Amino acid sequence: MPAHPGCRAEGAEIIASFHTHPNIGAGYLQEPSETDKRAVRDDPDLKSPRYAGELVSAALVYGITPSGSVIELGETGNTFAVA
């Protein structure tokens, strides 16, 4: 993520962030790691009341809340389906 003081990047408010877990090899971790959770929870510049958290996408989509808890949101194809 680029520099984001005050939960803003290039002048725009950040309301969510996103990254993927594309690795499907041996030892593959689909869900967010402890490092992923800490990165969201402990980032002082992601503390805006409007920041919803980070989406992590692999076969499933997970949401990391600003407090670092994880929510399973659903299968990627269904969650990001285009109507």
pLDDT, tens digit (0-9, with 9 covering 90-100), for 3-55: 999 999 999 999 999 998 877 677 777 899 999 999 999 999 999 999 999 99
Q: Range of 69's domain?
A: 5-79
CA–CA distances in Å: residue 27 to residues 23, 46, 72: 9, 30, 20
pLDDT in the model for residue 81: 76
What does residue 59 show for φ and ψ, rounded to 5 degrees?
-70, -30
Dihedral angle of Cα 33, 44, 65, 76, to the nearest 10 degrees: -60
From the list 39, 47, 52, 42, the residue with the least C-alpha distance to 1 is 39
Q: Is the pTM of this model over 0.75?
A: yes
Tally of domains in the chain: 1
